[in-house]
């Protein structure tokens, strides 16, 4: 729920950042799971959370290496 398109509050994003750090979640795995469960997730919130967890350089590298797969979620 903290990643839904109606949420996105700063506190929610901070909570998701901590979850990503603690659980070592993979961005594409997480997107796939949400998609299969039928959640309406705003991908920008997920990208913000992963940037907060791992940094902008990590996110840039991840995006470059997985661009085709990530485009499915836009």
**Model's pTM, two decimal places?**
0.77
CA trace torsion 58, 5, 41, 12 (10° rounding): 50
- State yes or no: pLDDT of 60 exceeds 80: yes
Looking at the chain, the number of H-run helices and the number of E-run strands are: 4, 0
Helix (H, G, I), strand (E, B) or coil at 41: strand
Q: Which two tokens stand for residue 45?
A: 């919130």
Q: Cβ distance 16 to 2 under 8 Å?
A: yes
Q: Whose structure tokens read 């659980």?
A: 23
pLDDT tens-digit map of 29-45:
988 888 898 887 778 88
Q: Where in the chain are the domains?
A: 10-73
């Amino acid at each position: 729920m903290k990643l839904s398109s109606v949420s996105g509050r700063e506190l929610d994003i901070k909570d998701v950042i901590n979850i990503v750090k603690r659980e070592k979640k993979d961005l594409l795995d997480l997107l796939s799971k949400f998609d299969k469960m039928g959640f309406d997730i705003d991908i920008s919130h997920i990208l913000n959370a992963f940037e907060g967890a791992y940094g902008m350089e990590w996110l840039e590298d991840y995006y470059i290496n997985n661009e085709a797969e990530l485009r499915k979620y836009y």
